[in-house]
């Protein structure tokens, strides 16, 4: 079974509220709310055909990992900490909305 990707809330003593992506149950990537909103908007733009980018990249300030999303014909391949998740367009839409709904 391929790894899953989920969105949770977290916190940091200096940075405040964080949006956490968890891949495969144990690999974590933390976004500030602003970073999560930026990635969400980029995913939505690609999903809706408003962006012809081939990759979405974010290096979050609060994380040891980075977010590379390679745009494919049928979705987006996200690799975090060496763990790859192949998201079809419905999964991309869900992830984008989860990231956006977690922001202020």
pLDDT at 22 > cutoff 70: yes
pLDDT of residue 103: 56
Place 1 in a pLDDT band, splitting at 50, 70 and 90: low
Quick one: average pLDDT of 20-42?
Answer: 93
pLDDT of residue 100: 87
Nearest alpha-carbon partner for 70 in 97, 43, 41: 43
Tokens representing residue 20 in the block:
């956490």
Domain that holds residue 54: 5-101
pLDDT at 104 > cutoff 70: no
- How many domains does the structure of the chain reveal? 1
Q: Please list the residues that pair with 6 across neighbouring strands.
A: 22
State residue 15 phi and psi, 5-degree precision.
-95, -15
Measured CA to CA, the distance from residue 30 to residue 59 in angstroms comes to: 10
Place 24 in a pLDDT band, splitting at 50, 70 and 90: confident
Quick one: average pLDDT of 29-58?
Answer: 95
Measured CA to CA, the distance from residue 36 to residue 23 in angstroms comes to: 15
More confident residue, 77 or 26: 77
pTM greater than 0.85: yes
Q: Residue 2: CB partners within 8 Å, gap ≥ 6?
A: 84, 85, 86
């Amino acid at each position: 079974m391929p790894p899953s990707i989920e969105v949770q809330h977290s916190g940091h003593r200096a940075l405040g509220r964080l949006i956490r992506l968890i891949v495969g149950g144990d690999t974590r990537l933390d976004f500030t709310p602003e970073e999560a909103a930026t990635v969400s908007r980029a995913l939505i733009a690609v999903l809706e055909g408003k962006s012809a980018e081939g990759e979405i990249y974010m290096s979050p300030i609060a994380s040891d990992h980075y977010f590379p999303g390679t745009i494919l014909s049928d979705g987006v391949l996200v690799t975090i900490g060496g763990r790859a998740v192949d998201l079809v367009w419905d999964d991309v839409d869900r992830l984008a909305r989860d990231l956006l709904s977690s922001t202020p």
